[in-house]
Amino acid sequence: MKSRVLDLQNYMPKELYFDIVSDQGAGGLYLVIAGDGSTTFYYHYCSTDLETDRVETTEANFNNFTDFWKHFTSDIKWYCLHPLYIHPELRSFIKQQLDNVSWKLVKDDHWRVMYQRQWNKVLNNPAEYYKPLR
């Protein structure tokens, strides 16, 4: 992960690759293509502390999706988040990742089924099911 966030106004186009929400926040990962054709991934996440109403925004650049994924899955319960969109190029990889998670960490059967259902829906519905705003 780079320490400096890209100025997105100088980099176009950008394409949504991953969109996720939870009851504490939401974030999106974008593939950004520079004028010279090079690419990077830009992640923006906004969270809210529900007790204090404090809002915190996090932005980061990643050289590739693998670097982002290492960061994202550093939270052992990453799969308890609610995906809204997964780019078709990422779907088979994320399906494999979900095959390796420990669903037993989610003690409540209702919530476990709900998380699994949402991942399944987003991974298997046509990409047009969710039309991200640009």
Q: Please tell me which residue, 84 or 11, carries the higher pLDDT value.
A: 84
Read off the pLDDT of residues 47-69 as tens digits, 9 standing for 90 and up: 888 788 888 898 999 999 999 99
Nearest to 130 by CA among 32, 16, 13, 41: 16
- Give the CB-side neighbour count of residue 131, counting CA atoms within 13 A: 1
Read off the pLDDT of residues 7-21 as tens digits, 9 standing for 90 and up: 554 546 789 999 999
Q: What is the mean pLDDT of residues 111-116?
A: 93
User: What CA–CA distance (Å, rounded) separates 51 from 58?
Assistant: 19
User: Model-level pTM?
Assistant: 0.81
* pLDDT value at residue 9: 46
Q: CB within 8 A of 29, min separation 6: which ones?
A: 16, 17, 18, 19, 41, 42, 43, 65, 68
